[in-house]
Structure 1
Amino acid sequence: MSLNSVQQFMLRCFVVLLLLASWHSSALAIPSFKEVQLAYQSSDAVLVDRNGVVIHQQRINPRERKLAWVKLEDVSPALRMALIASEDKRFYQHGGVDWNAVAGAAWGNLWNKKTRGASTITMQLAGLLEEDLRRKATARTAGQKITQALVAQWLEQSWRKDQILEAYLNLVAFKGELVGVHALSRVMFDKHPSGLDKIEAAIAVALIRGPNASVAKVAERACASLKEQGLPQFCANLEGQSTQYFARLTAKSDVARTISGPQLAPHLARRLFAANPSATAIRSTLDGPTQAFARDALVRHLSALVDRNVEDGAVLVIDNQSGDVLSWVGSSGALSDAGQVDGVQALRQAGSTLKPFLYELALEKKWLTAASILDDAAVNLPTATGLYIPQNYDKHFKGLVSVRTALGSSLNIPAVRTLVTVTPELFFRRLQQLGFGLRESGDYYGYSLALGSADVSLLALTNAYRTLANQGRYASPRTSDKDPLAAKPVTVMDAGATFIISDILSDRAARATTFGLESALSTRIWAAVKTGTSKDMRDNWCVGYSDRYTVGVWVGNASGAPMWDVSGVTGAAPIWQEVMHYLHQHKIGNLVGNVVVNVVANTMANKGLTTPMQLPAGVVAQQIVYEGALEAARTEYFLAGTEQSLISIAHPDQIRPVIVYPTAGMLVALDPDIPPERQRIRFAAQGVKQAKWLLDGKAPVTPVAANQAGRTALSIDWMPWPGKYLLQLVDNQGKVLDQIKFEVRGAVLIAEPKFFAKLIN
């Protein structure tokens, strides 16, 4: 028996004794190949669309970078050959432990000779699978090495060689956070593992043995591997090529966060995976082609507005019936300095987009009809914090207009007058029912709520318009299979009133006063639409719906910086129109194919395409005529019981008497720096020619008659005094026409005796 044979025999006997001594049940707990595959978890999660197509890939494990499991047949043959040549030449001959290599390593260690390690690929895989065997900061103990050999032999008996090689290539760590050949190939070589050439394969294998080795050392090991394969000619300039690959790796080091898959829905993906942290794949309700089209339309139109200080935007598309979100574009991507901000969920000032819900409530309560006349003229509304003076967008007044014209042309003052009737608190409660989740009360916003002073999200706003499309039936939208199935809709608004609002929002003639007959709000299919622009042009919106879809678009700056001369009809509306046409391209194609373009054009030029919505019960059509031809005669829709054929203008003596100042609940503070005799509160009323004032049941003390010259009973000046008061307006018979409560606060001032005499008298 040769010396080498004696060495191997003695070593085998020693190992067998140790194995018998250390045998335990751990080997029996080793998973099968299938179990390892199923337990494998990529560091990236994927979002698929409603058809199962991957539309977004997102990093969810910040500690290590692992991409999808790669089958052995999808790994470059060059890499497989390099791995075996470098790590385990007898891989296909041994049964898990290469006894020749073990004997050589042991003999070399005995004589302090530097030899290559005896660990086989199977033994290394055992170390990757068993928690106790994974390399820590210190070397493995003798007991751990023996267990490793035992597990390797068990693997060889239970797994095929190709399965061992496949699992190893997917689980082995390379450099830094890169785990598995798929991550290494994508990040370092920018290609799939199937495309690695001989040089790239040699460099990859060199990193297994020394993940933290220098470029020169890696090149040296890669060259040795190439020589092992009989390919020394590829060693030329190997260090230079290695340097190039390492530079790429360094550039992506932060990123090995860089994602190689599609990046179509980053904001929704982030939201869904944050809500489902253990999920690695989520099926969304998005439609991939629609998502891509909406994103491209947003970027294309914003690119044309860069000289107007616009860089951000968002688009949302919801299926009316199911509530499925078909497109969720949260930002303009590279155009934005705040691309991570989700414009779909960000809270921004609503502008005029809340007006349809205000008018719907007024119609529902039967306080107004679509034919009612409102005054678009200057108005000063007293509030607890001072006068509120609303203005129209174009700073001009249109005079007497119908509700249809006021809403269609988005006139501000008629909306504020409507809110005076509805009251901010009642309107606030309706908005909450529609899912807006406003943070303050109706009184906090006051009359400005009619003009959209509240902050809302595109998600809530678009879904509220979807409620209009569904004739008042509200339900939450769905974004993925993780969301609960659509709950039974809750009726929030009157079906008849929403039908009338939808008809107004689709009426080209109604919006012609402000927008003209042809604008980006005009579509080739029936659609109801509304724009909105917030104060100083910081936000503009366009939200509307057809019988199938609701589309919402926001354009502005995430920083809150104002845009330059960009309104809803020039900023958001063109994007809305393009997306809406895309969604209905087949219907539009059918219209053209049936040669009805002229008919459609004539209909649209008049009042808009005929609504596909079914006329709800309780809605009647009535031919109307305006007194004095204020507006053209037309057929108008009314809630049953409110219809009328002749629309007359109300005269002053028909207006209900009302106290306009002070306002109910008003708090007045006396100024200690102003002499008491110079402080006044002016009581004012409208709707009656002759009336009397009572303050806590008595006539209020006013200045001398000379100071009241020219004043009627509807306007008097009162000298305030601290206290809580009940102010009443009564007619000559003593009947109370209106009353309010208010309070005056302030220190009792030291004044001249003649001042107190005035109060007593």
Structure 2
Amino acid sequence: MSDKRKGKRPLVADKRYAAQPKKPRKATVKPKSKPRRTARRKTPAKRRGGLIGLFQRLLRWVLRLIWRITWRIGAVVCLLLSLAVGYYYTTLPEVTELLDGRARGSVTLLDDRGQVFAWRGDQFGGVVTADTVSPHLRNAIVATEDKRFYRHFGISPRGIASAVRINLSEGRGPLSGHGGSTITQQVAKLLCLGVPYDPAVQSEAEYEAECRRGTIKRKASEAIYALAMEAKYSKNDILTIYMNRAFLGAGARGFEAASQRYFGKSAANVTPAESAMLAGLLVAPTRFAPTNDLTRSQRRAATIVRLMNEQGYLSEAEARSARNNPAELSAAAEARAGGYFADWVMSSGPEFFTRKTTEDVIIRTTLDQRMQRAADDAMKWVFENKIRAGSKAQAAIVVMSADGAVRAMVGGRKTRVSGAFNRAVQAKRQTGSAFKPFVYAAALDLGYSPNDTVMDEPLTINIPGSGPWTPRNYTNRFYGSVSLTRALKDSLNIPAVKVSEFVGRDLVRQVASDFGLQSDLAAGPALALGASESTLIEMTGAYAGILNGGSSVTPYGLVELRLLGDDAPVMGTGGGIGERVIQESAAQQLVYMMEKVVSDGTGQRAQFGGRALAGKTGTTQAARDAWFVGFSADYVAGVWMGYDDNTPLTGVTGAGLPAEIWRETMVRVHEGVPIKPLPMMTPSQAGEAREPSPGQQGSSTGPVGILEGLLRDILGGGSGRQPEPNVSGSDR
């Protein structure tokens, strides 16, 4: 069958219907498309040829090498730094264990009323924190030492760069002078990088020097330690450690101790001016300590106030008030840590509780601060008004009660000192005629009367091995038969020697020694004229024994010693009244004789206020030493004057300037003290006086007069010979 449709065109739909008119198409605007980028084939950059190209390639290779090495080294350094910081982190203890790092303890001295007047050793004062101190103090520390303290991570690159720039501009090495250390780094130094002090290994000074070393290696270690502390502690913890361990001068460790030391108040209560002064000590504690130079310390504090104002810690009004009302020292601080008296107490107490204590010790003493000021003022007044300007003469004063309790002590013209040579207790000098009361004490104790007589006439004594010795009176005159009272009153030498020789030098030495004169006493007849040496405190204590009725005393200043926090004392009084030396009646007659010295004899310049006073002047050969020691019914005082190098005094005897210093001291000491009679016995109360017998030339019926002839034979009477060198003279 053939296919008829073969070759025909296929039907299409539009052919089946009538043709329709075509609708015109709306022209549409196609958005312009971005021109299509045709991928271009990258052509390799042409390499620069020649030397320049070679140099560029070499430079790029070097830079890539440096980068590879640098980041590897940096990674290693960071790893090692992290390990070092981690190591220090593990060694850091709790904050509370770092607050008191003293190598030794402290001693706080209280006066007779329980008031603090001196400090010794490393004072701590107690723990303070950044939250408990005065906000002004906290702000002053930050403003002065590290104004970015709360913003850095332990070290301050900006601060280090600034310090290096300042050092170089001032002509120093980059690490010499300003260090740029943060407070955290300073704490690291204070902690000595965690190395504790071991006295068995090194001294405290060596340990401190090791902690302060400024080598680059040491500073790097401090920086790492600082980072560890920043990781372990809070900012306030670090500031707390700093405030408790910083040394602030005058033995004060920490701001609580310094605040108590200088202002007598807690660090929680200091004013802006006081805070600025305390913060100013951080840079140089000794130089800016207000006890050394208050004006300099106030100027430094004014600088701190300005910084606090600039950093917004103080308003303009507060800053102006702080500048116009600078901080002042407390009364105890003005006393310069107790001066000579505190030094003496520290030296007389047990070493393990005073000079080398590892504990905090409280010592109550006999000091009366009113009397101490009286002695200081008297010394100052006499040297300003009675002694020529430029004189190098020195003087010392001791005031005590009749039981030996020392109430005041001045060891030299500079009264506000600490650690200075104390002439009151350390200088051994010849006593001169101030020794004579002990000669007459020996005679009175044997039963002689103040009215017994002795011949004042030329005398020569043959001394075995030395030859003849001829004492003389100060006036180079002889007064014939004189009573013992007159001999002492006018400080006659020959009667004193005769009485000493008669009663026996050994007995005189024994009496003087029992009264407290511990130095080696002269063996020859010059013993009676004070050829022996003694200290002022020994002499004053011996006279106290005369006042108290003839019993020895041991001068003392320590009343009670206890440890901080304990109520029970470790030890009590180290002195006081001891055994009886002479009979009470003999002591009271001696007081009568010594009262005549002041009322009618060589010590008349010591009189004041109508009081009954007793005492004795003393001047040594060539006036190298001048003394006045005496007492009222209430107090005993001794004064020594001379040169440290034994230069003779010009125109000075014990009856002169020493008596005036004594008077000025006792006038002030007795302000408000009622007048009392002296404990003395007149000869009429003791018994009838023995008058000279007409049958004896210049002698009396008493034992002294009876044995005048015997004394002539023993001593070898006569005149016209020269006196033994270095023999004490009497006083006027």
Q: TM-score range by the shorter chain?
A: 0.5 to 0.7
Quote the residue 1:380 is aligned against.
460
1:203-602 equivalences in 2 (<5 Å):
262-263=335-336, 266-273=339-346, 276-278=354-356, 284-307=365-388, 311-321=393-403, 323-333=404-414, 340=421, 342-366=423-447, 368-384=448-464, 385-439=466-520, 442-443=522-523, 446-480=524-558, 481=560, 485-487=573-575, 489-507=578-596, 512=600, 514-515=601-602, 519-521=605-607, 524-588=610-674
**Cα deviation per residue 1:479-530 (whole Å; 9 max; x = unaligned)?**
235685145622222222111101221236x963x449x5434652232211
> Is 1:195 the equivalent of 2:284?
no
SS of residue matched to 1:529? strand
Q: Does structure 1 retain, via aligned residues, the 8 Å contact 2:549–2:587?
A: yes
**Shift in alpha-carbon separation, 1:138–1:420, aligned structure 2, 3 A:** same
Q: Which residue pairs with 2:240 in the alignment?
A: 163
Residue type of the alignment partner of 2:495 = P
Q: 1:82 and 1:451, CA in 2 relative to 1: closer, same or farther beyond 3 A?
A: closer
Instruction: Determine the structure 1 residue equivalent to 2:142.
Output: 80
Question: Retained in 2: the 8 A contact 1:316–1:344?
Answer: no
The code of the aligned residue for 1:154 comes to K
Q: Could you tell me which amino acid in structure 1 is paired with residue 658 of structure 2?
A: A
Task: Check if 1:18 corresponds to 2:96.
Answer: no
Q: Which has the higher contact order (CA 8 A, sep 6+)?
A: 2
Q: Would the aligned equivalents of 1:315 and 1:552 in 2 still touch at CA under 8 Å?
A: yes
1:131 paired to 2:204: no
Write the distance in 2 (CA, Å) between the matches of 1:270 and 1:654.
Answer: 52
Q: Deviations over 1:245-299 (max 9, x none)?
A: xxxxxxxxxxxxxx98543754344445555323698654322232222122123
Question: In proportion to residue count, which structure has more strand?
Answer: 1
Q: Distance in 2 between matches of 1:300 and 1:503?
A: 31
For 1:297, give the aligned amino acid.
Answer: A
C-alpha distance 497-330 of structure 1, shift in aligned 2 (>3 A): same
1:154 positional shift = 2.6
Distance 1:169 1:143 in 2: 20
> In the TM superposition, what whole-angstrom CA distance separates every residue of 1:687-738 from its partner, at most 9, and x where no partner exists?
xxxxxxxxxxxxxxxxxxxxxxxxxxxxxxxxxxxxxxxxxxxxxxxxxxxx
Quote the Cα distance in structure 2 between the aligned partners of 1:625 and 1:123.
87
How far apart are the structure 2 equivalents of 1:585 and 1:99? Answer: 62
Task: Number of aligned residue pairs: give it.
Answer: 536
Deviation for aligned residue 1:431: 2.0
1:305 CA displacement: 4.0
Whether the 8 Å CA contact 2:85–2:225 is kept in 1: the answer is no
Q: 1:306 to 1:77 in 2, by over 3 A?
A: same
CA distance in structure 2 between the partners assigned to 1:144 and 1:339 by the alignment: 38
Secondary structure (helix, strand or coil) at the match of 1:131 reads: helix
Please give the alpha-carbon distance, in whole angstroms, between the structure 2 residues aligned to 1:476 and 1:99.
61
Report the more deviating stretch, 394-403 or 263-272.
Answer: 263-272
| 1:657-696 matched pairs, under 5 angstroms | 658=710
In structure 2, what is the Cα distance between the partners aligned to 1:568 and 1:349? Answer: 12
8 A Cα contact 1:319 1:326, kept in partner? yes
Instruction: Name whichever of 297-306 and 529-538 sits farther off.
Output: 297-306
Which letter maps to 1:163? Answer: T
Task: Decide whether the 8 Å contact of 2:375 with 2:410 is kept in 1.
Answer: yes
Q: Is the 8 A contact 1:290 1:327 kept in 2?
A: yes
Offset of residue 560 of structure 1: 1.5
Secondary structure of residue in 2 paired with 1:327:
strand
Once the two structures are superposed, what CA deviation does each residue of 1:296-325 show, in whole Å capped at 9, x if it has no partner?
A: 21232234443597721111001223x221
Change in CA separation of 1:54 and 1:262 when aligned onto 2, cut-off 3 Å:
farther
Instruction: Give CA deviations for 1:98-151 in whole Å, capped at 9, x if unaligned.
Output: 89999x9xxxxxxxxx9xx99864465245325347574242598886554333
Structure 1 residue 44, shift from structure 2 partner: 11
Contact 2:99 2:241 in 1 (8 A): no
Structure with greater Cα Rg: 2
TM-score (norm 1): 0.58
Distance across 1 between alignment mates of 2:219 and 2:239: 29
Alignment of 1:60-139 (within 5 A): 73=135, 75=137, 77=139, 80-81=142-143, 83-85=145-147, 87-88=148-149, 90=151, 121-122=183-184, 124-132=186-194, 136=213, 137-139=215-217
Cα distance in 1 for partners of 2:100, 2:79 equals 37
State the AA in 1 paired with 2:573. Answer: L
Secondary structure of 2:554's counterpart equals coil
**Alignment CA distance shift 1:439-1:131 (3 Å):** farther
Give the distance between the partners of 1:135 and 1:574, measured in 2 at CA.
52
Tell me if structure 2 keeps the 8 A contact 1:376–1:401.
yes
Distance in 2 between residues matched to 1:457 and 1:447, nearest whole Å: 21
Deviation at 1:77, TM superposition (A): 4.0
Letter in 1 for 2:393: E
- When residues 264 and 507 of structure 1 are mapped into structure 2, their CA distance, relative to the original with a 3 A threshold, is farther
The CA distance in 2 between the partners of 1:527 and 1:20, in whole Å, is: 76
Q: Distance in 1 between matches of 2:514 and 2:533?
A: 16
Other structure's SS at 1:475 match: strand
Q: Distance in 1 between matches of 2:212 and 2:690?
A: 89
User: AA paired with 1:502?
Assistant: V
What is the rounded CA distance, in whole Å, between the counterparts of 1:185 and 1:141 in structure 2? 26
CA, structure 1 residues 467+230, in 2 after alignment: closer, same or farther (shift >3 Å)? closer
Match of 1:727 in 2: none
Equivalent-residue separation in structure 1 for 2:629 and 2:368 (angstroms): 20
Q: Which runs of 5+ in 1 are unaligned?
A: 1-5, 105-113, 203-224, 232-258, 592-608, 630-646, 664-683, 687-761
Alignment partners' CA distance in 2, 1:490 and 1:651: 28
Asked whether 1:622 is paired with 2:728, we answer no
Q: Which residue in 1 is equivalent to 2:52?
A: none
Note the C-alpha offset of 1:69: 10
Distance 1:661 1:562, change over 3 A: same
Question: What is the letter of the counterpart of residue 263 of structure 1?
Answer: R
**Aligned in 2, Cα 1:74/1:474: closer, same or farther, shift over 3 Å?**
farther
Cα 1:496/1:36, change in 2 over 3 Å? farther
Alpha carbons of structure 1 residues 404 and 343: separation in structure 2 relative to 1, 3 Å:
same
Consecutive unaligned residues of structure 2, counting only runs of 5 or more, are 1-70, 162-173, 196-210, 255-279, 315-331, 562-570, 719-732
Mapped partners of 1:97, 1:529: distance in 2 = 69
List per-residue Cα deviations over 1:626-659 (Å, max 9, x = no partner): 4699xxxxxxxxxxxxxxxxx9557999658759
Distance in 2 of aligned mates of 1:476 and 1:346: 18
Structure 2 CA distance for partners of 1:84 and 1:118, relative to 1, 3 Å: closer
